[in-house]
Structure 1
Amino acid sequence: MEMSNWGVTNTENLTIQYCFPDNNLSCSKSIRPEAEYIVVYIFVSVTSVFTVFLNLLVIVSISHFKQLHTPTNVLILSLAVADLIAGLILMPVQGMKLIEPCWYFGEIFCSIFPLILYVVGTASLGNLVIISIDRYIAVNDPLRYPLKVNNKRVVVSIVVNWLFSFVYSFYLLYESLIYPERNHSCIGECILYVKMEYLILDSFVCLVAPCCVIFSLYVKICFVANYQAKQLNSATDKKARSEKKAARTLGIVVLVYLLCWTPYYLATLSFGHDENDALVINIMQWIVCMNSLMNPFIYAMFYRWFRLSAKYILTLKILEPSSEYFSLFPEEK
């Protein structure tokens, strides 16, 4: 059984104190220069606030404006909810773990926090797989796309995805959740127990298999899109370009996700969550969380509707009567 250290770092060459000086069962902790704490806490605070703010913009935009109530955007909404949770909960705690060796959030949250991390990560990946399938159908069979894909079916797929993510994550972390006393040997420590076979299983379920599915779908999308570009006439060319652009943008989202998560899985399999490599694992987990900040920037770069909807929200035009019917695609007028 492997241990993932959620609260202990290397204390070599650093002053040693106790997490809870008044408790005889307290863990020891290293004291770093004050400047390090200030820099890390400012960085973590800024990135967390930006992540929450930007993903709220995505959520409000898609929820409020009627033009954005499409199957693809509903999937983006689900992804933004996962990113919002990451900004609210995961990023502050993960950022604190980079500099603070003690766990001050209690035994219960020590058990729940890894579950939140796994559920959010698995649900995000599930959203990306569904998005890839959605884009494949849109490009490969555009005429029957409205018949095959609608908001109701997408919502059902999202609910199933989140339920699966919770059940799967609970299965992986069952022992840690049922026996929280195993998560620490002293007060102020938070250790996650994960069997190596579960780490291998998780790497396959949440990295290898989805990568194969997503990669194969996007290869097919590229071939179909290029073929259609040569065959379509000018009347349908605009719609084809729009679908191709959407597929390319969401393909970038998928690529960024994989770039953020792959180092984490490689690190966990290589180090086995060894205590001596806790800092490396914490950094990899922080990179994973940073993915939640990157997605809104990708939308802003490639989606004009997001830039326009954000403008309406920030200038409070969203409060005007019938603002939900504002046009976000003026070129279509």
Structure 2
Amino acid sequence: MEYTSLSSTDSTYHGIEFVFQPFGSTVFYGIFLFISIGSVVGNSLVIAAYKIDKSLRKRPTNTLLISLAVTDFLTGLIAIPFYTLARGIKSDFTCSGNTRFLLFFPGMLFGVSSVTHLTVIAMDRYIAVSRPLRYPRLVTKKRCVITLVAGAVFSIIACSWPVFTMDSLDDETFCEEEKKTDVVTSFVLALSLIIVLYFGIMIFCHICMIRTALKHVRLRRTLSTSARPEQSGAEDAKSRLRATVTVAIIMGAFIICWAPTAFKFLFQSFFSYSEHCFLIVQVTCEVLFYANSMVNPIIYGYRNVQYRLGYMKALHSCCPCIIKKPLGQAFSIVSKQRPSIV
């Protein structure tokens, strides 16, 4: 992608100017169109599976997952189109200070909300693994809803407080050069610290969950009878491998999608830079940032058999020609199985 040099020196844009050259614009909009459609379709399937399968609605954990799916759905439907308008087009409208903040606001809001959900889900699974007997009393659907409401309020406050602290920016333009006010710098720094804090909590929960799960596997292996030792060992190994792979996927996706954004925020807070040269790095980080909303349905849906069958049933309801096999028997079999940690 190449940055389009502008001839205007008064930061006034006559008409509409594209930030990238034609080929770069095609790649830019193509990537984000793919992410947007993937987020909307993928999370729609998660929501449909939750609505179709009654057993999913009985588990508090799935309340967290469906709320995350709604957040990621709104990211693809609202945040990404607003972002592409602000990042890809230069005009008096998109470069106005207040307008530009409002265009980026949905992405910041849904992004912080998504990380909040991931952190709460990590804590929920840690409790489920480390305190399996007390889990039904500690984690209820009502408490999950209260936690989600508190997280939503926190996300709104964290992302909207600059509106109440900065003066009107209608006379300022933010496209030709980077404007680094004290308020903007402190806001970016606060967001980066929030992401780092959540990241630390998630790492702690997942490491403890892996250690506890492996400890339980060793304990079950010790207490198991010797009647069928080979089968017992194979099942334990399979369970351990699945738990380890699932947690590795969760943490790997989070690191890949969010670490570049966190480092970018920290860099923006402490160093001066040229918007001209920093554009490609910034867009790359933002591609990964928004791609997380498309990845979540794969991790939290495809790894769960019930969600996977819910996808199939939803597709069968919309397009019977795609999936013709009845799924009722499969659902009845899966509902009797012991749920996995994911």
The normalised TM-score by structure 1 is: 0.77
Q: Which residue of 1 aligns with 2:32?
A: 44
Question: CA–CA distance in 2 between the matches of 1:132 and 1:242?
Answer: 19
Q: Which residue of 2 aligns with 1:5?
A: none
Counting only pairs closer than 5 Å after superposition, residues 62-101 of structure 1 correspond to structure 2 as 62-69=50-57, 70-96=59-85, 99-101=88-90
Match of 2:265 among 256, 264, 268: 268
Larger RCO (alpha carbons 8 Å, 6+ apart): 1
Q: Which residue of 2 aligns with 1:119?
A: 109
Q: Which residue of 1 aligns with 2:310?
A: 309
**1:275-312 deviations in Å (ceiling 9; x for gaps):** 23234223312220011111122235422222211110
Task: Tell me if structure 2 keeps the 8 A contact 1:58–1:80.
Answer: yes
Task: Tell me if structure 2 keeps the 8 A contact 1:111–1:180.
Answer: no
Q: Which residue of 1 aligns with 2:192?
A: 203
Q: Which residue of 1 aligns with 2:49?
A: 61
Q: Which residue of 2 aligns with 1:283?
A: 284
For structure 2, the residue ranges without an aligned partner over 5 or more in a row are 226-231, 321-327
**1:103 deviation in Å?**
6.7
**1:145 deviation in Å?**
0.8
2:197 is aligned with 1:214: no
Task: Tell me if structure 2 keeps the 8 A contact 1:103–1:190.
Answer: no
**What is the Cα-based RMSD across aligned positions, in Å?**
3.9
**1:99 deviation in Å?**
4.3
**1:1-33 deviations in Å (ceiling 9; x for gaps):** xxxxxxxx9434xx7589xxxxx7648846755
Task: Tell me if structure 2 keeps the 8 A contact 1:71–1:149.
Answer: yes
**1:153 deviation in Å?**
0.8
Counterpart of 2:173, as a letter, is: H
Question: CA–CA distance in 1 between the matches of 2:180 and 2:37?
Answer: 27
**1:83-127 deviations in Å (ceiling 9; x for gaps):** 111111222343455643447568565332332222111111111
Match of 1:148 among 138, 149, 155: 138
SS in 1 for 2:332: coil
Task: Tell me if structure 1 keeps the 8 A contact 2:82–2:104.
Answer: no
Question: CA–CA distance in 1 between the matches of 2:203 and 2:211?
Answer: 13
Taking only the aligned residue pairs, the percentage that are identical comes to 24
Q: Which residue of 1 aligns with 2:228?
A: none
For structure 1, the residue ranges without an aligned partner over 5 or more in a row are 1-8, 19-23
User: For this pair of structures, how many residues does the alignment match?
Assistant: 311
Distance change (3 Å), C-alpha of 1:234 and 1:311: farther
2:219 is aligned with 1:231: yes
Task: Tell me if structure 2 keeps the 8 A contact 1:16–1:29.
Answer: no
Distance change (3 Å), C-alpha of 1:148 and 1:90: same
Question: CA–CA distance in 1 between the matches of 2:243 and 2:145?
Answer: 20
Q: Which residue of 2 aligns with 1:6?
A: none
Counterpart of 1:149, as a letter, is: V
SS in 1 for 2:170: helix
Task: Tell me if structure 2 keeps the 8 A contact 1:58–1:77.
Answer: yes
Counting only pairs closer than 5 Å after superposition, residues 174-193 of structure 1 correspond to structure 2 as 174-175=164-165, 179-181=168-170, 183-184=172-173
The normalised TM-score by structure 2 is: 0.75
Task: Tell me if structure 1 keeps the 8 A contact 2:60–2:141.
Answer: yes
Question: CA–CA distance in 2 between the matches of 1:31 and 1:137?
Answer: 48
